Amino acid sequence: VALLQMSKQLSGKRILVTAAGTREPIDPVRYIGNRSSGKMGYAIAQAAAERGAEVILVSGPSGLPTPPGVSVRRVETALQMRDAVLAEFDTVDAVIKAAAVADYRPELAADHKIKKDGETLTVSLIKNPDILLELGQKKKQQILVGFAAETQELLLHARDKLIKKNLDLIIANDVTLPGAGFNVDTNIVKLIDKSGHVEELPQLSKQQIATIVIDKICAMLTKST
Ligand code: CTP
Ligand code: CA
């Protein structure tokens, strides 16, 4: 009985996870994208579902299978991801934003395929809304967890994002390390909580990291109720 309670400790909780990268159209056949595979976010969604949570996964394009028991909302662009996330935000207990959201999108997507007429081509980009920043400003009781993908000054930049976006936890990710970051099965991360406490994890599988992150969220959710 104790084991069963342990394993279903998130039953009755609604958890929103975002995963994979967004794609920002240039014309009907081209887009600006990034190297995110969705592996980290899908692993987190799965770990939350295994603990009995009702999980909503807002996913950019990804070839990964939907984890059992998870409801997926598929999106392509950052603006679509924002709409899908805001539609659920009021009714969830925690949000984990593992998605790699494009910071900019083409200001105008061409209606027709752009022809290779000129020797150079300039695409003007405009900033996308920062979804996590918006959630941080709106949040009430929700636990907010973000990622920080960095190539330098990892802790400094991650702490800045934790504070600026009003997060409860940030998963800091040096994407230059071998065995970490985009499109690999392992990751090397540091977890920083609101009080500034840093936990450095060794290289682990994304499933193992997902379990650790979900355990932390469990602890935060049980403390706040
Ligand atoms: N994020 C978001 N909306 C955006 C950009 C980022 O919700 N438009 C979220 C990501 O899902 C991630 C966190 O913010 O959880 C940090 O993303 P990251 O790219 O590391 O940081 P940025 O705030 O975008 O800053 P920069 O890219 O300049 O380092
Ligand atoms: Ca960014």
What are the tokens at 19? Answer: 């995963």
**DSSP per position, the chain:** -HHHHHHTTTTT-EEEEEESB--EEEETTEEE-----SHHHHHHHHHHHHTT-EEEEEE-S--SPPPTTEEEEE--SHHHHHHHHHHHHTT-SEEEE--B--SEEESS--SSPPP--SSS----EEEPP-HHHHHHHH-SS-EEEEEEEESS-HHHHHHHHHHHTT-SEEEEEETTSTT-STTSSEE-EEEEETT--EEE--SEEHHHHHHHHHHHHHHHHHH--
Distance 179 CA to ligand 1 centre (A): 21
CA 101 / ligand 1 centre spacing (Å): 6
Relative to the CA of 147, which ligand 1 atom is closest? 15
What the block records as the tokens of 169 is 């936890």
Tens-place pLDDT, residues 37-48 = 999 999 999 999
Q: For a pocket test of ligand 1, which of 35, 89, 103, 189 has the largest count of ligand atoms closer than 8 A to its C-beta?
A: 103
Q: What mean pLDDT value characterizes the chain?
A: 95
* Residue 201 token pair: 């994890």
ipTM of this predicted structure: 0.99
Asked if 160 and 152 count as a contact pair (C-beta separation under 8 A), the reply is: no
Render pLDDT for 14-72 as a digit per residue (tens, 0 to 9): 999 999 999 999 999 999 999 999 999 999 999 999 999 999 999 999 999 999 999 99
User: How confident is residue 129, by pLDDT bands cut at 50, 70 and 90?
Assistant: very high
Ligand 1 atom closest to the CA of 100, numbered from 1:
11
Query: What is the b/e burial string over 81-109, where b = at least 16 CB atoms within 10 angstroms of the residue's CB?
Result: bbebbeebbeebbbbbbbbbbbeebbeee
In this structure, the residues whose C-beta lies within 6 A of any atom of ligand 1 are 78, 97, 99, 101, 103, 128, 130-132, 146-149, 161
Residue 4 pLDDT more than 70?
no
| Position 223 confidence tier, pLDDT thresholds 50, 70, 90 | confident
Quote the CA–CA distance of 62 and 60 in Å, as a whole number: 6
Whether the pLDDT of residue 183 is over 90: the answer is no
What confidence score (pLDDT) does residue 54 get?
Answer: 98
